Amino acid sequence: MTKILLQTTIQATPDDWHIGRFDLLRRHLAELRWNDGTPHFEILARDREPDAQGDDPLLSTLGDSDIDQLWLFAVDVGDGLSAADSAGIRAFRRRGGGLVTARDHQDLGLCLCELGTIGRVNFFHSKNPESDPQRRTRDDTSANIDYPNYHAGLNGNYQTISVQDPVHELLRSSQAPDGVIHRFPAHPHEGAIGCTDLPFARVIATSTSKITGRAFNSVIVFDGERDHDGTPLGRAVAESTFHHFCDYNWDTRAGCPSFVTDPPGDEIARDPAPLAIFKEYVNNIAAWLADAPALRRSAPAFH
C-alpha cells in the first residue's frame, strides 16, 4: 500500500496553519478504496517536531523511511526545515519518492529554497524573486501582504484555471463535461512559481488575477529529472498555494487562523459540484506520483 505523509513545516500551533487544517484532504485520501473495499493509501499527517538539534526525526531520515509520497505544506516564513531535514527530503527524491510542495504569499514557505530545483521554481519576496521586475509589486492591495500575492478569488470561491496544452493527466476528469478539470479553490493572495530553464519541469495550469488581470502560474510538474550524478529523481508537483488543499478553502465552516481577515466567499457552499471534480485532481496527483496507471484507471470507482 502506498504511504503518504502529509506534513507541515511548523510545530503544532493552534492559531496557525497546522496539519489539522488539512484534515478534509487527509480524510479524502484515506477514504479512497479499490472496488473490493481495500484502501489505496495509508496516510500519516503531522506537524514538524524538531529535536534538541532542531531536526525533525522523520524528515531528516526520510530517505531511509518507508514513506512513498511527501505532501509538504510549507507554512513557515523561513525556518521550516533544518539542513538535515532538507537533506532528508532530497535523499527521499533520490530513492524515487514523490513530492508535492505548496506554499503561499510573500515569504510563506521560504524553506523550499533549500530543496534544489524545487526551490528554483518557487519565487518569494526576500529570496529568489520573480525575474520580471514589473511583477515585484503587490497584486492584491487590499491586505497588508507584500508580493507575490496574486488574487485568484476569495477563500470559499472558485478560480478558473487555464489548462496548458498538451493537457496533463493530472488535470483529466471522469466527471467534467469535457474531461478536463477547470476550477480550483481560490485564494486572495497566492504565491509565485515558474520554470523557464528546467527541461524536466513544465507549467500545466495558470490562473488570472481578479484584480489586475495578470496571469500567474498555478501548478508545475517535474518528470524525468536526474540528480547531478545521473540518479533519477522522484516526480514532483509544485503548487502556488497550499490553499488549494486547505479545509477552509474547501469548506469555510472549518474556520481559519485569527490572522486571516479576508472576507470569505460562498461559491463552493452554493455549488459543490466543481469541488468534487477538483478532488479528482487530488486523486490524480497521488496516482501520478506513485506511477500507478491501474489506480488512475480505477478513479471512477473511488468513493
* pLDDT tens, position by position, 115-136: 999 999 999 999 999 999 999 9
Q: Residues 69-96, buried b or exposed e (16+ Cβ, 10 A)?
A: bbbbbbbbbbebbbebbbbbbbbbbbee
Mean pLDDT of the chain: 95
Write the CA distances from 176 to 182, 218, 220, integer angstroms.
8, 19, 22
Query: What value does the mean pLDDT take over residues 96-114?
Result: 98
Question: Which carries the bigger pLDDT value, residue 12 or residue 294?
Answer: 12
Residue 218 host element (H or E): strand 215-222
Which pLDDT tens digit goes with each residue over 222-254? 999 999 999 999 999 999 999 999 999 999 999
Peptide bond into 199 cis (omega under 30): no
What is the domain count for the chain? 1
Q: What is the residue range of 137's domain?
A: 2-301
Q: Using an 8 Å Cβ cutoff, are 240 and 109 in contact?
A: no
Q: What is the CATH number of the domain that holds 88?
A: 3.40.50.880
Whats the size of the chain, residue-wise?
303
Q: What is the Rg, in whole angstroms, of the alpha carbon atoms belonging to the chain? A: 18
Residues 6+ away with beta carbon under 8 Å from 189: 104, 105, 106, 139, 140, 143, 145, 149, 150, 151
For residue 268, what pLDDT band results from cuts at 50, 70 and 90? very high
Query: pLDDT tens digits for 160-200?
Result: 999 999 999 999 999 999 999 999 999 999 999 999 899 99
* Cα–Cα distance, 93 to 95 (Å, whole number): 5
Confidence of residue 293 (pLDDT cuts 50, 70, 90): low
